[in-house]
Amino acid sequence: MTTPRGMFGFDPSDPGFLPNPYPHYAKLREQGPLLRTEVGMWIATDHETCMAVVRGHRFGRPPETDPRNRSFPMMNPPEHTRLRAKVSRAFTPHMIEHMRPRIAEITNELIGDLKDEDDLVAALAYPLPVRVISEILGVPPQDRERFGGWSQALARGLDAELTGSEQALAERDRAREAFRGYFTELLAERRERPAGDMLSTLVQLDELTTDELLTTSSDLLVAGHETTVSLIGNGVLALARAGQSGYLARHPERAPAVVEEILRYDPPIQLIPRVALEDVELHGQVLRAGEPVLALVGSANRDPEVFDDPDRLDLTREPGRHLSFGLGVHYCLGAPLARMEAAIALTTLSAAAPDLALADPVPPYRENLFLRGLASLPVRRHGRAA
């Protein structure tokens, strides 16, 4: 029976892994930039190799055999190029920038409701991106609470595709069907009564099949909040641990650079799975077509060959070459929105609670491997940390 270490080269069930996976990644980097595990999976550990895997045209997404789940994030060119171009016509930079005042309004509302002692994930990090992406897509407010469990099941399904957990895969498939059923009804409503939202725009793109519409709608909703929840939570935690909760109140102009440093320091997406699309030689080793490769983004972002003092959160660091949103054709479509939401949330929170402190020095994490995020983040607006 294959152990987790035999599969990944590290053991994600180690009690110390979820709170701090980075020492585990450092040990892998010391073994070399490209490792092969007992099950035949290749692991890219340093920045240069991860960049080659994530950006290079010789690597792509693992194939999705079920046509009902083939949205553009799960495709490779030329299919990916065609569908992403269509979706980009609805998810435009102008539309994202137009949301800035609304994001600030929602943020102020949520922070205004923050108690002196509260769970920052439940109070801000989760509801903000869920409300924003729901408003962009046109999901009615009364339906938003339905998505939490479905989204988490899909996130756990990413891990299960590698680990083979039958229970997690079954939960993922049920979540897919739930999303599919929901968006079947909502898209039908938008065909009959367009509402000026993104779903209304998508249904007017006649080039999209029904399956592409359904899976793309679900993917946009999940990707539009899962990553940002973790980015905001990880950011608040990192700033509080560094004693810098009030930094952006003093230096609001640094918000974009601080968000980039948080993305580098503790990225929501820790791993990017790829397969070799052809035989590829890297570091003197041949990766055969079809062999799986994991790019360890969390390791690449702390490569000392690229980043000075990489294990330190440096709020004066100028944005560098982190890989937290990927590269190349699969670069995250929602990256500008996630950056904007995080910058607004962290700056507004810093101004409202500059002495924010942790109520739990080691807050609990969700047991996800691909998407690193907090299950909760107990904080105090005033007073000392626990």
The CATH number covering residue 76 comes to: 1.10.630.10
Q: What is the pLDDT of residues 9-45, one digit of tens each?
A: 888 888 889 899 999 999 999 999 999 998 889 999 9
Signed CA dihedral, 211, 212, 218, 223: sign only:
positive
In a domain, 124, yes or no: yes
Confidence band, pLDDT 50/70/90 cuts, at residue 338: very high
On the question of pLDDT at 384 being above 60, the answer is no
- Collect all residues with Cβ–Cβ distance below 8 Å to 206 and sequence separation of at least 6: none
In a domain, 17, yes or no: yes
pTM for the full predicted model: 0.93
In a domain, 249, yes or no: yes
In a domain, 386, yes or no: no
Q: What is the pLDDT of residues 116-166, one digit of tens each?
A: 999 999 999 999 999 999 999 899 998 888 887 888 888 777 777 777 778
In a domain, 265, yes or no: yes
User: Is residue 317 a contact partner of residue 218, using CB atoms and an 8 Å limit?
Assistant: no
* CA gap 318, 321 in Å, rounded: 10
Tell me which of 222 and 255 has the higher pLDDT. Answer: 255
* Residue 226, domain extent: 4-380
Q: Which of 274, 209, 227, 231 is nearest to 74 (CA)?
A: 274
Q: Which of 306, 144, 134 is nearest to 220 (CA)?
A: 134
Q: How many domains does the chain have?
A: 1
Q: What is the pLDDT of residues 95-118, one digit of tens each?
A: 899 999 999 999 999 999 999 999
Q: Which of 212, 343, 196, 325 is nearest to 264 (CA)?
A: 325
Confidence band, pLDDT 50/70/90 cuts, at residue 5: confident
User: Is residue 268 a contact partner of residue 335, using CB atoms and an 8 Å limit?
Assistant: no
In a domain, 114, yes or no: yes
User: Is residue 136 a contact partner of residue 95, using CB atoms and an 8 Å limit?
Assistant: yes
In a domain, 385, yes or no: no
Determine the length of the chain: 386
In a domain, 230, yes or no: yes
